[in-house]
């Protein structure tokens, strides 16, 4: 009997979390081996590791507690990776040397797999004087372009690209350029972007008052606050960015307001962090804790919930000591405060099981009760750890208890903290769980509603044939198993049918008991009126949320994974999702046809030779592998790495033309070169150009674009159908959806965020 509730869950485990040797041979022979590996690694911090290994294993068993992807993939592997998902980097100095020191730190952090956040408000605005060099400043947006290029060149540990968050204060003189930066689809694609909105600004918006844009005490412009707010709203209405972070509220509600100031968040916004702050993440799977689902007596076993939370807090506290850190400053910050971010997933499924409609007043009240119970259990568990192992080093009882988040907590918990201290300065956060929710059997993600109750993905087999596989929401599958073909009850709703106000209500209900923040996407219909759209953000502000992220499908953002409805308003399987996925790479034939190309980079002593071999499947010739060779030993390591990565992508099938796009977008800060009358920004871009010409020559892509010629969906778009949105950068399929502020592929599980 398999432990996996769905085939997609086993696929995600095999691709993302299963420990394998360098040649792909599995070391985790089963998911039980994965759980045992994690439990053993985290129990090594205990005085009685044998006892705690079994307790930790029991928490992991059956996907009850889901450590974030970094922990699941990295714990117990002996690899040089961080187990922390996210970091906010050091404050960027307003000088060239300091800026590029920060760039180096960012590269080192992403190299080990960490997502990063930066506040670019500390860089002087474009056009400001630069003393001593008789020049004008280029502004923070120009340096964000440098960060973006750096991120493109770094493949994070665990086969995911680094994710970045850029924030800017609403009173920075370049804020208007920041707001509209994503209107250029080729710019800053590696960043999520959010505006730091202050209380004073929101008051000025409501009063329709003036707003000064200033830097270092100098006022550069004065605008109407409401006009600036409307520009933020228009950009996110059109391009889904920037998000909005209510930064004063975050700082006021921070348990550590007495010893830190927050100006940035991690890439998805659920972790507001100080300079060099780091946080690890994990989720309680509420869908696994409901007893008697769909019956009148259905409820979450609160005793089991308390016990699971207590064990999870201990496990996550041990991660602080077990993890490596890219930078010493990050290690010191983590040790001084011992932040953890325990959250939930499967909330929407749990609500369905107990008969509640997501977004209703009663569902919001039940959500608040569950999260109150989790917060209470988490703080008491951390108090017990403080008695056993000591409070976090910067703990100051009176100052700590005066913080906003603790003022809501039950008095007996506050008294326990006052008497014994607390091990972890912050404990709760609701993070993106797009990939781990699939791994857990396609439970609903985080506190999001169910996106689609079922959809069909097409799996490409080794012989070139395709099979169809239905992917069903966890709660819906439980209903089918219990009641067969009986119609779903009326309280079964999904993200397509909910009003934006329902989303806001659920986010606000959860926020009261989350001491960090929440990553959540508020889905808005395409035809939502602009004034109604703006009102969503005002509702989020008025109801106490710490931030707001929306997603409105349109011709720019694309329409992904549509859900049709039957006449009785019951969502049915999506018939349009054309998902292509290879469960295993294709086997290499004994002989392949190919071509070798020579690239001579100016100022380089040796040429680079690029060999591209092709395979024919179902009459279509497609790239299969790449070899990049040079006599220049300085090129050896990166050419071998590039050879392996590109070949691995080619062998997975699907639309792999994104490889060309990514390579051609890389620029070298030292400067590019003119080749055949055209400026090429880097040697990697030159390699991308060679691969592009080859793919055109074998008739795999169009000469004037990157569309896969054999893709019928691309042909429909060309004659006026809705754009599908961006392709997945991992598998190339058009099956991305916005999950908790981050695009997640429902085909392969790829996400920038976990």
Contact (Cβ atoms closer than 8 angstroms) between residue 342 and residue 374: yes
- The answer to whether residue 718 scores a pLDDT higher than 90 is no
Q: pLDDT class for 752, splitting at 50, 70, 90? A: low
What is the mean pLDDT of the segment spanning 478-492? 94
389-406 pLDDT per residue, tens: 999 999 999 999 998 788
Q: How many Cβ atoms sit within 10 Å of the Cβ of residue 149? A: 18
Instruction: With beta carbons less than 8 A apart as the criterion, state whether 146 and 667 touch.
Output: no
pLDDT at position 566, please?
A: 34
Query: Is-catalytic flag, 754?
Result: no
- For residue 577, what pLDDT is reported? 33
Round to whole Å and give the CA distance between 238 and 233.
Answer: 9
pLDDT band of 742, cuts 50, 70, 90: low
The pLDDT of residue 590 is above 90: no
Cα four-point dihedral sign 322, 328, 331, 336? positive
CB-CB contact of 724 with 418 (8 Å):
no
Q: Is the peptide bond before 242 cis (omega within 30 degrees of 0)?
A: yes
pLDDT tier, 461 (very low <50, low <70, confident <90, very high otherwise): low
Report which of 22, 24, 28, 36 is spatially closest to residue 10, judged by C-alpha positions.
28
441 versus 730: the higher-pLDDT residue is 441
Share the mean pLDDT of the chain. 86
Percentage of residues in the chain having pLDDT higher than 90: 58
Please give the share of the chain, as a percent, with pLDDT higher than 70. Answer: 85
pLDDT at residue number 238: 92
CB 512 within 8 A of CB 546: no
3-state SS class at 96: helix
Say if residues 65 and 286 touch (Cβ distance below 8 Å): no
pLDDT of residue 725: 54
> Are 165 and 192 contacting, i.e. CB atoms less than 8 angstroms apart?
yes
Give the residue among 510, 536, 563, 537 at the shortest CA–CA distance from 737: 563
Residue 339 falls in which region: left (phi positive, over 0), alpha (psi -120 to 50) or beta: beta
Q: How confident is the model at residue 668 (pLDDT cuts 50, 70, 90)?
A: confident
Confidence of residue 456 (pLDDT cuts 50, 70, 90): confident
pLDDT band per the 50, 70, 90 thresholds, residue 676: confident
Per the model's pLDDT, the better-predicted residue between 739 and 366 turns out to be: 366
**Catalytic, out of 251, 254, 255, 266:** 266
Q: Respond yes or no: is residue 548 known to be catalytic.
A: no
What was the pLDDT predicted at 730? 54
Q: Which helix (H) or strand (E) holds 659?
A: helix 658-664
The pLDDT score that the predictor gives to residue 62 is 95
CB 408 within 8 A of CB 512: yes
* Number of residues assigned to the chain: 754
Cα angle value 470/473/479 (rounded, 5°): 100
* pLDDT at position 58 over 90: yes
Q: What is the pTM of this model?
A: 0.78
Which pLDDT value is given to residue 726?
Answer: 56
At residue 673, the pLDDT reads 79
pLDDT tens for residues 514-560?
A: 999 999 999 899 899 999 999 999 999 999 999 999 988 876 665 54
Catalytic residue among 10, 260, 270, 662: 270
Q: Where are the beta strands (DSSP E) in 496-606?
A: 522-523, 547-548, 550-551, 580-582, 593-599
Reply yes or no on whether the pLDDT at 3 is more than 60.
yes
pLDDT of residue 305: 97
What pLDDT digit, counting tens, does each position of 320-351 carry? 999 999 999 999 999 999 999 999 999 999 99
Residue range 707-731: mean pLDDT, rounded: 41
Question: Rounded to 10 degrees, what is the CA torsion of 108, 109, 110, 111?
Answer: 50
Residue whose tokens read 């860089």: 123
Cβ pair 213, 222 in contact under 8 A: yes
Averaged over 667-695, what is the pLDDT? 82
Residue 277 — very low, low, confident or very high, per pLDDT cuts 50/70/90? very high
Residue 211: its pLDDT value, please?
98
* Per annotation, catalytic residue among 86, 151, 268, 748: 268
What H or E segment, with its residue span, contains residue 424?
A: none
Q: pLDDT tier at 294 (50, 70, 90 boundaries)?
A: very high
Active site residue 268: yes
Structure confidence at residue 556 (pLDDT) = 65
Residue 318, token pair as written in the block: 């041990």
């Amino acid at each position: 009997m398999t432990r996996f509730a769905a085939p997609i869950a086993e696929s995600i485990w095999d691709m993302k979390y299963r420990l394998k040797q360098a040649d792909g041979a599995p070391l985790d022979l089963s998911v039980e081996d994965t759980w045992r590996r994690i439990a053993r690694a985290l129990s090594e911090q205990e005085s009685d590791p044998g006892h705690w290994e079994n307790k930790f294993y029991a928490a992991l068993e059956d996907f009850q507690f889901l450590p974030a992807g970094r922990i699941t993939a990295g714990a117990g592997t002996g690899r040089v990776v961080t187990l922390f998902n996210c970091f906010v980097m050091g404050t960027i100095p307003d000088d060239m040397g300091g800026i590029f020191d920060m760039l180096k730190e960012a590269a080192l952090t992403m190299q080990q797999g960490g997502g990063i956040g930066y506040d670019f408000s500390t860089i002087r605005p474009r056009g400001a004087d630069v003393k001593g060099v008789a020049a004008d400043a280029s502004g923070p947006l120009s340096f964000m372009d440098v960060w973006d290029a750096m991120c493109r060149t770094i493949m994070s540990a665990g086969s995911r690209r680094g994710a970045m968050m850029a924030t800017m204060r609403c009173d920075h003189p370049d804020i208007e350029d920041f707001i509209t930066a994503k209107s250029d689809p080729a710019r800053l694609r590696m960043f999520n972007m959010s505006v730091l909105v202050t209380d004073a600004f929101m008051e000025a918006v409501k009063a329709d008052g003036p707003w000064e844009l200033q830097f270092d005490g100098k006022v550069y412009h004065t605008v109407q606050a409401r006009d600036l707010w409307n520009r933020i709203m228009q950009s996110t209405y059109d391009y889904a960015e920037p998000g909005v972070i209510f930064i004063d509220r975050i700082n006021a509600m921070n348990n550590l307001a007495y010893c830190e100031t927050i100006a940035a968040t991690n890439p998805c916004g659920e972790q507001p962090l100080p300079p060099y702050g780091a946080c690890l993440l994990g989720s309680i799977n509420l869908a696994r804790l409901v007893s008697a689902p769909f019956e009148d007596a259905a409820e979450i076993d609160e005793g089991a919930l308390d016990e699971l939370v207590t064990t999870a807090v201990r496990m996550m506290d041990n991660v602080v000591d077990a993890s490596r850190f890219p930078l010493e400053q990050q290690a010191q910050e983590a040790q001084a405060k011992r932040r953890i971010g325990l959250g939930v997933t499967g909330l929407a499924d749990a609500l369905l099981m107990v008969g509640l409609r997501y977004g209703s007043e009663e569902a919001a009240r039940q959500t608040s009760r569950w999260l109150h119970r989790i917060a209470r259990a988490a703080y008491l568990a951390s108090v017990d750890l403080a008695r056993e192992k000591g409070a976090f080093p910067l703990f100051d009882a009176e100052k700590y208890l005066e913080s906003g988040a603790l003022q809501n907590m039950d008095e007996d918990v506050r008294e326990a903290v006052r008497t014994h201290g607390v091990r972890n300065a912050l404990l709760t956060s609701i993070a993106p769980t797009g990939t781990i929710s699939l791994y857990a059997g396609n439970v609903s993600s985080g506190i999001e509603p169910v996106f689609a109750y079922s959809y069909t993905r097409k799996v490409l087999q080794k012989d070139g044939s395709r099979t169809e596989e239905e992917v069903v929401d966890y709660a819906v599958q439980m209903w089918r198993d219990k009641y067969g073909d009986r119609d779903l009850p009326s309280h079964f709703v999904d993200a397509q049918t909910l009003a934006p106000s329902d989303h806001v209500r659920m986010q606000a209900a959860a926020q009261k008991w989350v001491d960090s923040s929440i990553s959540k996407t508020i889905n808005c219909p395409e035809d939502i009126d602009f004034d109604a759209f703006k009102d969503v953000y005002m509702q989020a502000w008025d109801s106490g949320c710490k931030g707001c992220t929306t997603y409105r499908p349109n011709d720019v953002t694309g329409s992904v994974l549509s859900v049709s409805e039957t006449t009785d308003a019951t969502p049915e399987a999506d018939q349009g999702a054309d998902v292509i996925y290879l469960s295993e790479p294709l086997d290499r034939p004994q002989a392949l046809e190919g071509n070798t190309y020579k690239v001579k980079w100016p100022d380089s002593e040796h040429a680079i030779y690029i060999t591209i071999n092709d395979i024919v499947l179902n009459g279509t010739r497609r790239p299969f592998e790449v070899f990049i060779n040079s006599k220049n030993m300085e090129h050896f390591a990166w050419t071998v790495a590039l050879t392996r990565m590109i070949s691995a992508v080619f062998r997975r099938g699907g639309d792999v033309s994104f490889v060309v796009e990514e390579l051609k977008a890389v620029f070298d800060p030292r400067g590019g070169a003119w080749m055949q009358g055209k400026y090429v920004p880097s040697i990697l871009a030159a390699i991308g150009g060679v691969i592009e010409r080859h793919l055109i020559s074998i008739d795999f892509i169009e000469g004037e674009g990157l569309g896969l010629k054999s893709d019928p969906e691309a042909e429909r778009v060309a004659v006026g159908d809705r754009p599908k949105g961006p392709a997945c950068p991992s598998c190339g399929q058009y099956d991305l959806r916005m999950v908790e502020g981050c695009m997640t592929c429902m085909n392969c599980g790829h996400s920038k965020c976990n």
